[in-house]
């Protein structure tokens, strides 16, 4: 068996032999030195980790191995032969009642699902060291350009088979170390000890040494803090600026509560504020996304026009915001999602808002798109 294969078995061994974990604590750094995938990036010197015994790296690996019990590979039902997605199981409390859900990235929802709500995926989980397929229904979906999360509900009889993760109660601080556990290229992969670079409107951002091609399949994986709790869901990599080249993106855990609320009370009642620094521009429903952003100066001259094709350009907007007086957004609503594009979205599904950054209030809104040509 290759060292890659050996690493893949670590969570399974740990599940069956928890009493012996203390004997394995010096083995993890050795495995890291010998067999971690190239994209499971471990900073520092492995030799130092071994000398220190219980090291930060070792703790991160053990925590990731534990999280692996909660991670599943997701396939469109009936297409278990295709490339797998990643997802994970979490528990939450809704008005005093504990519930279990799964989550995957919206942008990975298969093209074959014209309307994903109510569609089923197959979740391949590990139970007592063996893989088992269980069905999961997509019950709530958020825009891939904003939150990029799709909520999964499992059959009640299957829930005892699941090992849910606990959601963190607050966001991590800059420089806090993060771990990601998921399936890159179908292979169990750990990305360890990545410092938080930035916390934006919807996402956490941390450094990666590889592009999205190297971590393909990991979208939907849990991002853990140093306590082993979920602070976000991995949604891919980006190069928004030269200083953030090869940056990992993760939607904040708090938005999972928004999806759960939408599942219970309806999409029209579940909103989140679009904040730019101190400015609350508008409340968005989870199935809405910003398609165009315009910034204008005091005289109404355009400073910036940004078309949104991938992630919401928070960084770019914040860089130009000090020079702007007005911001205009075109906002689409779509009933279903196909990859990074909206399906069945027409002009009647769009509205616009204009916000005065100096007066800190909305000054215009209406149906249809608004173009700023100056």
Domain boundary among 193, 228, 255: 255
Whole-angstrom distance, CA of residue 303 vs CA of residue 185: 41
- Residue 65 — pLDDT band, cuts 50, 70, 90? confident
Is it the case that residue 283 has pLDDT exceeding 70? yes
Domain assignment present for residue 72? The answer is: no
Same domain, yes or no, for 290 and 361?
Answer: yes
Q: Which of 87-101, 150-164, 233-247 has the lowest mean pLDDT?
A: 233-247
Same domain, yes or no, for 278 and 322?
Answer: yes
Q: What is the mean pLDDT of the chain?
A: 79
Same domain, yes or no, for 341 and 275?
Answer: yes
Whole-angstrom distance, CA of residue 276 vs CA of residue 364: 18
Domain boundary among 198, 231, 255: 255
Looking at per-residue confidence, does 258 or 240 come out higher?
A: 258
Cβ contacts of 170 within 8 Å, gap of 6 or more: none
Burial of 154-184, coded b for 16+ CB within 10 Å and e otherwise, reads beeebbebbbbbebbeeebeeebbbbbbbbb
Q: Specify the residue for token string 């708090």.
A: 254
Domain assignment present for residue 329? The answer is: yes
Per residue in 141-174, pLDDT (tens digit) is: 888 888 999 999 999 999 999 999 999 999 999 9
Share of the chain above pLDDT 90, in %: 46
Same domain, yes or no, for 303 and 223?
Answer: no
Which residue range is the domain that position 329 belongs to?
Answer: 271-367
Distances in Å between the alpha carbon of 58 and those of 55, 70, 183? 5, 19, 20
Q: Is 138 helix (H, G, I), strand (E, B) or coil?
A: strand
Same domain, yes or no, for 276 and 246?
Answer: no
- Residue 67 — pLDDT band, cuts 50, 70, 90? confident
What is the structure's pLDDT at 103? 97
Domain boundary among 227, 255, 283: 255
What is the structure's pLDDT at 353? 97
Same domain, yes or no, for 250 and 276?
Answer: no
Same domain, yes or no, for 282 and 353?
Answer: yes
Domain assignment present for residue 237? The answer is: yes
Burial of 191-203, coded b for 16+ CB within 10 Å and e otherwise, reads bbbbebbebbbbb
Domain assignment present for residue 69? The answer is: no
Domain assignment present for residue 10? The answer is: no
Domain assignment present for residue 126? The answer is: no
Cβ proximity of 123 and 158 under 8 Å: no
Is it the case that residue 206 has pLDDT exceeding 70? yes
Is it the case that residue 192 has pLDDT exceeding 50? yes
Domain assignment present for residue 355? The answer is: yes
Neighbours of 30 (CB within 10 A): 14
Same domain, yes or no, for 247 and 290?
Answer: no
Is it the case that residue 269 has pLDDT exceeding 60? yes
Residue range 70-82: mean pLDDT, rounded: 81
Same domain, yes or no, for 188 and 225?
Answer: yes
The H or E element containing residue 29 is: helix 27-35
Domain assignment present for residue 238? The answer is: yes
Cβ contacts of 253 within 8 Å, gap of 6 or more: 167, 168, 171, 230, 231, 232, 233
Same domain, yes or no, for 240 and 295?
Answer: no
Per residue in 310-344, pLDDT (tens digit) is: 778 888 999 999 999 999 999 987 654 444 444 44
Q: What are phi and psi of 176, to 5 degrees?
A: -60, 145
What is the structure's pLDDT at 106? 87
- Residue 195 — pLDDT band, cuts 50, 70, 90? very high
Q: Which of 13-22, 79-88, 103-112, 306-315 has the lowest mean pLDDT?
A: 13-22
Same domain, yes or no, for 246 and 276?
Answer: no
Same domain, yes or no, for 279 and 360?
Answer: yes
What is the structure's pLDDT at 14? 40
Is it the case that residue 136 has pLDDT exceeding 90? yes
Is it the case that residue 16 has pLDDT exceeding 60? no
Taking the alpha carbons at both ends of the chain, their separation in whole angstroms is 64
Instruction: Copy the structure tokens of residue 144.
Output: 């891939």
Looking at the 3D structure of the chain, how many domains does it have?
A: 2
Is it the case that residue 374 has pLDDT exceeding 50? yes
The helix/strand count (H/E) of the chain reads as 7, 23
Give the CATH number of the domain where residue 200 resides: 2.40.10.10
* Dihedral (Cα; 145, 282, 293, 203), 10-degree rounding: -40
């Amino acid at each position: 068996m290759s060292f890659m294969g050996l690493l893949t078995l670590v969570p399974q061994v740990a599940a069956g032999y928890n009493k012996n974990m203390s004997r394995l604590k010096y083995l993890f750094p050795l495995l890291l030195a010998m067999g971690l995938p190239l994209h499971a990036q471990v900073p520092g010197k492995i030799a130092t980790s071994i000398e220190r015994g219980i090291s930060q790296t070792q703790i991160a690996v053990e925590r990731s191995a534990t999280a692996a019990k909660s991670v599943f590979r997701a396939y469109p039902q009936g297409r278990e032969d295709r490339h797998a997605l990643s997802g994970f199981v979490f528990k939450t409390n809704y008005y005093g009642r504990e519930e279990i859900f799964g989550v995957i990235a919206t942008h990975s929802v298969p093209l074959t699902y014209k309307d994903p709500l109510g569609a089923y995926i197959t979740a391949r989980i590990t139970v007592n060291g063996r893989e088992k397929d269980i069905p999961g229904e997509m019950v709530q979906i958020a825009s891939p350009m904003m939150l990029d999360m799709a909520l999964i509900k499992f059959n009640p009889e299957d829930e005892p088979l699941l090992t849910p993760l606990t959601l963190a109660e607050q966001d991590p601080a800059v420089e806090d170390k993060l771990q990601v556990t998921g399936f890159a290229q179908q292979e169990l992969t750990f990305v360890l000890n990545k410092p938080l670079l930035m916390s934006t409107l919807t996402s956490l951002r941390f450094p990666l040494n590889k592009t999205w091609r190297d971590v393909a399949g990991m979208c939907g994986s849990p991002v853990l803090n140093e306590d082993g709790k979920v602070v976000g869901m991995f949604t891919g990599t980006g190069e928004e600026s030269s200083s953030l080249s090869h940056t990992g993106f993760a939607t904040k855990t708090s938005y999972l509560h928004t999806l759960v609320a939408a599942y219970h009370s309806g999409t029209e009642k579940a909103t989140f504020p679009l904040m730019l620094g101190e400015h609350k521009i508008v409340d968005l429903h989870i199935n809405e996304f910003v398609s165009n952003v315009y910034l204008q100066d005091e005289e109404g001259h355009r400073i910036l026009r940004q078309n949104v094709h991938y992630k919401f350009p928070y960084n770019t907007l914040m860089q130009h915001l000090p020079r702007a007086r007005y911001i205009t957004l075109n906002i689409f609503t779509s009933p279903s999602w196909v990859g990074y594009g909206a399906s069945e979205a027409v002009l009647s599904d769009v509205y616009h808002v204009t916000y005065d950054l100096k007066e800190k209030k909305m000054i215009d809104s209406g149906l249809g798109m608004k173009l700023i040509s100056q």
